[in-house]
């Protein structure tokens, strides 16, 4: 490692009922890109919050440039040159790029904002990142990837020497992710240190020189990226020499279609989709961002108007008029945005789990608390949800456990067809494997599971068949052992050799 910019020594932090960090040492050099890995609950979020001044440690010390620093507030972190770009971006879409770069610190002249100076300096900040954008343009008109770069430009404008990026590519397509990775490399070459939090192994190998693995609030290892295999990283993350939670697929028996779709058209993206959904299998739908994956699921779930085409459910004509209509026919969808659309974060875990199946825990229109406790207890056990108490707010749980609750809510509604839109987005590798297991178990019990993901590698882990959605149509179907990353990448993008 180069000369340390930041050193954290003996950091410990506890909350009521849980020890988040246990005597953790962490250091990062100038111009170093360090990947920070760990399952949800491993302590990495607490560690970077302490570094950013959002949380205070119970024990331990922090040094910058070899001198002790006190980071008691986020402003202390910013003044020390530490900035965080969160997964949920903090740009203001209605303001211009320049206004966002200078958010809260607009240059003044004569008692007002110096617009020319602001736009000139914002353009210079964007140029550092290799970004050619008109600083007068509203942020609402630029892509998610470009918004992230605007946040990075703001951090650099504030004098950031250490940049913390939290799952920066989770909402980006491959080309946008590559742009961000190039920017991170460029910043490192210019001397900015970067802590890069991600669950994507291939991405980590392209962007980071070193990695730190955390587990159960402890520092497990720090090593050069090139010195460890993916298998070794997984073992460190999971604490096992076994591939914990490894998904076992057995070829499902060929069954009659449960839902047949012919010539489906859904404005604006789906033009001519024809395929079948069968009970007892996991069916993947692969396509680049903007290909219409979500719109297709929403049409089946009664959330979008079907312009033309036909569907037959168990041999009978079917066209859901609403979400309620689809659910009444055994079709349930978990949305991509679990926090905004999939659950109510301020309500209890127990309430979320039975939210779509109140009738099963009610008697004469009144909730039967004993029946609710029984169903919730069974769900928590079956889903492997880690929690302090069933009635605690869902928002207290890690992303992976929140997603398991969202899936549990759907399963408690006893669907025949389960539509999962990006169910593993933003969750760690351990939670991903658990969600894969839930999908396989549901299929083995006779459900038809339809799975959408932006990560091609996931289809290889869990799917029996994969449909390729391209140009508004289903252009190919891949099955069994033919489901390979290279094949799916080529079919979805039309480019050979895409990995």
CATH superfamily assigned to domain 4-238? P-loop containing nucleotide triphosphate hydrolases (3.40.50.300)
- Residue 261 contacts residue 309 (beta carbons within 8 Å): yes
CA 476 to chain centre: 27
- pLDDT of 203 reads 84
Among candidate residues 357, 338, 352, the one with its CA nearest the CA of residue 394: 352
The answer to whether residue 400 scores a pLDDT higher than 90 is no
Provide the 10 A C-beta neighbour count for residue 47: 28
pLDDT tier at 249, thresholds 50, 70, 90: low
H or E segment at 9? strand 4-15
- pLDDT of 251 reads 56
pLDDT tier at 247, thresholds 50, 70, 90: low
The answer to whether residue 313 scores a pLDDT higher than 80 is yes
The answer to whether residue 497 scores a pLDDT higher than 70 is no
Before 268, cis peptide (omega within 30)? yes
In this structure, are strands 316-317 and 308-313 parallel, antiparallel, or unpaired? antiparallel
Provide the 10 A C-beta neighbour count for residue 243: 12
| Bridge partners (DSSP) listed for residue 283 | 450, 465
The answer to whether residue 496 scores a pLDDT higher than 50 is no
- pLDDT of 241 reads 45
CATH superfamily assigned to domain 257-493? P-loop containing nucleotide triphosphate hydrolases (3.40.50.300)
The answer to whether residue 240 scores a pLDDT higher than 70 is no
Min mean pLDDT across 51-60, 378-387, 454-463 is at: 454-463
Q: Percent of the chain at pLDDT above 90?
A: 58
Among candidate residues 59, 61, 17, 25, the one with its CA nearest the CA of residue 41: 17
The count of C-alpha atoms lying within 13 angstroms of the C-alpha of 402, restricted to the half-sphere facing its C-beta, is: 27
Alpha-carbon distance 263 to 265, whole Å? 6
Sheet holding 162-166, edge to edge: 82-85, 162-166, 193-197, 33-37, 210-215, 218-224
- Residue 215 contacts residue 39 (beta carbons within 8 Å): yes
Alpha-carbon distance 457 to 5, whole Å? 36
Burial of 285 (0-12, 13-18, 19+ CB in 10 A): buried
Domain map (residue ranges) of the chain: 4-238, 257-493
Q: At what angle do helices 399-412 and 369-383 cross, to 10 degrees?
A: 120
- Residue 26 contacts residue 64 (beta carbons within 8 Å): no
- Residue 38 contacts residue 212 (beta carbons within 8 Å): no
30-62: per-residue pLDDT in tens? 999 999 998 777 899 899 999 999 999 999 999
- pLDDT of 223 reads 96
Alpha-carbon distance 29 to 32, whole Å? 5
Helix (H, G, I), strand (E, B) or coil at 104: coil
Query: What average pLDDT does the chain have?
Result: 88
For residue 118 the two structure tokens come to 């602001």
**Entry field: residues in the chain:** 499
Average pLDDT over residues 377-381: 95
Greater model confidence, 151 or 465: 465
Among candidate residues 166, 219, 158, the one with its CA nearest the CA of residue 192: 158
pLDDT tier at 430, thresholds 50, 70, 90: confident
Average pLDDT over residues 109-114: 83
Q: Where are the alpha helices (DSSP H) in 158-314?
A: 174-189, 201-207, 230-238, 293-300
193-227: per-residue pLDDT in tens? 999 998 777 788 889 999 999 999 999 999 999 99
- pLDDT of 252 reads 60
**CB within 8 Å of 380: residues ≥ 6 apart:** 349, 353, 387, 390, 408
In this structure, are strands 281-286 and 448-452 parallel, antiparallel, or unpaired? parallel
Residue found under tokens 């970067």: 194
- pLDDT of 250 reads 58
pLDDT tier at 498, thresholds 50, 70, 90: very low
pLDDT tier at 242, thresholds 50, 70, 90: very low
- pLDDT of 1 reads 55
For residue 179 the two structure tokens come to 């742009």
pLDDT tier at 330, thresholds 50, 70, 90: very high
Average pLDDT over residues 413-417: 96
Provide the 10 A C-beta neighbour count for residue 25: 13
Alpha-carbon distance 204 to 34, whole Å? 9
pTM of the model: 0.67
62-95: per-residue pLDDT in tens? 999 999 999 999 999 999 999 988 876 788 889 9
Average pLDDT over residues 277-290: 91
Query: Do the domains spanning 4-238 and 257-493 agree at the CATH topology level?
Result: yes
Handedness of CA 167, 270, 477, 445 (dihedral sign): positive
The answer to whether residue 13 scores a pLDDT higher than 90 is yes
Average pLDDT over residues 365-388: 92
CA–CA–CA angle 220, 226, 232 (5° rounding): 45
The answer to whether residue 394 scores a pLDDT higher than 70 is yes
């Amino acid at each position: 490692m180069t000369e340390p910019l930041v050193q954290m020594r003996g950091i410990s932090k506890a909350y009521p009922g849980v020890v988040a960090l246990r005597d953790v040492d962490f250091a990062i050099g100038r111009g170093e890109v360090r990947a920070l890995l760990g399952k949800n609950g491993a302590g990495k979020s607490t560690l970077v919050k302490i570094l950013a001044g959002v949380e205070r440690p119970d024990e331990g010390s922090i040094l910058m440039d070899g001198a002790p620093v006190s980071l008691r507030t986020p402003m202390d972190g910013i003044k020390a040159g530490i900035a965080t770009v969160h997964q949920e971006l903090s740009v203001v879409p209605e303001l211009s790029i320049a206004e966002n770069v200078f958010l809260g610190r607009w240059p003044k002249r004569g008692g007002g904002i110096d617009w020319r100076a602001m736009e000139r300096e914002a353009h210079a900040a964007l140029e550092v990142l290799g970004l050619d954008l008109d600083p007068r343009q509203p942020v609402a008109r630029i892509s998610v990837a470009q918004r992230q770069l605007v946040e990075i430009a703001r951090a650099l404008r504030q004098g950031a020497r250490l940049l913390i990026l939290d799952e920066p590519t989770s909402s980006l397509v491959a080309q946008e992710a590559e742009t961000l990775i190039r920017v991170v490399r460029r910043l490192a070459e210019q001397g900015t240190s970067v802590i890069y939090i991600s669950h994507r192994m291939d991405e980590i190998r392209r962007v980071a020189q070193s990695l730190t693995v955390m587990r159960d609030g402890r520092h497990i290892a720090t090593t050069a990226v090139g010195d460890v295999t993916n298998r070794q990283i997984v073992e460190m993350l999971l604490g096992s020499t076994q591939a914990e939670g490894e998904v076992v697929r057995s070829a499902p028996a060929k069954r009659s279609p449960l839902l047949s779709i012919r010539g489906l058209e859904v404005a604006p993206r789906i033009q001519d989709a024809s395929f079948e959904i069968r009970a007892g299998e996991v069916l993947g739908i692969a396509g680049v961002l903007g290909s219409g994956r979500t719109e297709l699921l929403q049409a089946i779930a009664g959330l979008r108007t079907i312009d033309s085409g036909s569907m037959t459910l168990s041999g009978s004509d079917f066209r859901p008029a609403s979400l309620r209509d689809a659910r009444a026919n055994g079709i349930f969808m978990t949305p991509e945005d679990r926090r905004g659309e999939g659950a109510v974060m301020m309500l209890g875990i127990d309430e979320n789990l039975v939210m779509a199946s109140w009738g099963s825990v009610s008697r004469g229109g009144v909730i039967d608390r004993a029946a609710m406790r029984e169903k919730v207890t069974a769900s928590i056990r079956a889903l492997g949800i880690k929690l302090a108490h069933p009635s605690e707010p869902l928002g207290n749980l890690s992303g992976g456990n929140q997603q398991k609750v969202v899936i549990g809510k759907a399963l408690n509604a006893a669907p025949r067809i389960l539509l999962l839109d990006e169910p593993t987005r933003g969750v760690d590798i351990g939670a991903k494997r658990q969600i894969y297991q839930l999908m396989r178990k549901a299929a083995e019990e006779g459900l038809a599971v339809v799975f959408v993901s932006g990560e091609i590698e996931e289809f290889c882990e869990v799917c029996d068949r994969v449909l390729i959605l391209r140009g508004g149509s289903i252009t190919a179907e891949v099955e069994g052992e033919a489901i390979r990353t290279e094949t799916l990448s080529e079919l979805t993008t039309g480019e050979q050799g895409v990995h």
